[in-house]
Amino acid sequence: MAVRGGASPDAGLTSRFYRMLFRIRRVEEEVARVYPTDKIKSPIHLSIGQEAVSVGVCAALRETDVVFATLRGHAAYLAKGGDLKKMIAELYGKATGCAKGKGGSMHLIDAAAGIMSTGAIIGTIEPQAVGYAWALKLQGKNDVAVSFSGDGAWEEGSVFESLNFAALKRVPVLYICENNNLAIHSRLGARQPVSNIYERARAYGVPAERIEDMDVFKIYEWTRAAVADLRAGRPGPRFLECLTYRWREHVGPNEDFNAGYRSRSEAEPWFANDQVARLAAMVPAAEREAIEEEVLAEIRDAFDFAERSPFPEAEELYTDVFADERHGTAAHVR
């Protein structure tokens, strides 16, 4: 059954969520603006329109919990507390980036904030999250691992294998499916006979629900309850499917409603339900303006930091690799 209810948010939570939503939206809009200049050296997969999922989930986590996210991972990275300056520098391919300029938009990491990886290959981060969660259980830790995936991932064998393993070992992993109904340009209905991703998780005995309206407060409340269960020793995993919608093209900064696989009229209900605009209307004007000024100043600083940062030295090609072919020996990984 889909989740439909939700507690009335207090003012502090609303302001906190608005800051997070507005920050992610404006960061990605600035990325989209800069991208055509070729200063950004990485392909980009924007989360514009989908921010509420990452915000609702990550707001319910604590610092020591960890997140594994998809190639469309900017929102999860920022919502979990990833360093903005390092993220933008990474997109620019600079040495000060979170992966030293070698990963780009699709491979973000900030271990100090609990972002273990974002991955470009569909179906690869789910097993990683399960492995991490199993390690947490074996070590007796009270933390959880979160795996973000798109609907397309739930057609990959590795994802179901990892879910089966997680259910067998009862590990503290939380699966979040960001179902935007698209795998690149292929619609869910053309790939699967029924849209029941959360029910597939139930087939493994995993508690699972669906939130259909992308309400950031419902996502937060469900996640908070699921995480509380896991911490209290009620064994995992848990599964949440969030229906959502991306506003921009699969990869790149533009809209693509004239590409033939979807229409602007289809997107209109999602535009009308924009959680950024919704929460903006809930925050007092003076407070909202202060939040926006602070966020915009932070974003300017981050892009200026990326502009001023150096590119990696050529020697950096030989670090963080399994073997150094120059010497025929295992490389030192920093």
Q: What is the DSSP string of 143-160?
A: --EEEEEEGGGGG-HHHH
Predicted local distance difference test score (pLDDT) of residue 91 = 98
More confident residue, 324 or 150: 150
Contact between 208 and 238 under an 8 Å Cβ cutoff? The reply is: yes
The whole-model pTM stands at 0.94
Residue entry with tokens 């997140």: 67
Residue entry with tokens 């590409």: 259
Preceding omega of 193 cis (within 30 degrees of 0): no
What does the buried/exposed string (b/e) look like for 176-191 if buried means 16 or more CB atoms within 10 Å of the residue's CB? bbbbbbbbeeeebeee
330, pLDDT greater than 70: no
Give the least confident one: 15-19, 224-228, 235-239, 243-247. Answer: 235-239
CATH of the domain at 67: 3.40.50.970
Predicted local distance difference test score (pLDDT) of residue 233 = 86
Quick: pLDDT tens for 311-322: 999 998 888 887
281, pLDDT greater than 70: yes
**Bridge-partner residues for 192, per DSSP?**
none
Quick: pLDDT tens for 175-202: 999 999 999 999 999 998 888 999 999 9
Residues 6+ apart with CB under 8 A from 100: 312, 316, 319, 320
Quick: pLDDT tens for 80-89: 999 999 999 9
- Average pLDDT of the segment spanning 147-155: 95
Total domains in the fold of the chain: 1
Dihedral sign of CA atoms 162, 166, 168, 169 in order = positive
Distance CA 126, CA 132 (A): 10
Predicted local distance difference test score (pLDDT) of residue 198 = 97
Distance CA 83, CA 15 (A): 21
Domain containing 24 equals: 2-330
2, pLDDT greater than 50: no
Predicted local distance difference test score (pLDDT) of residue 1 = 38
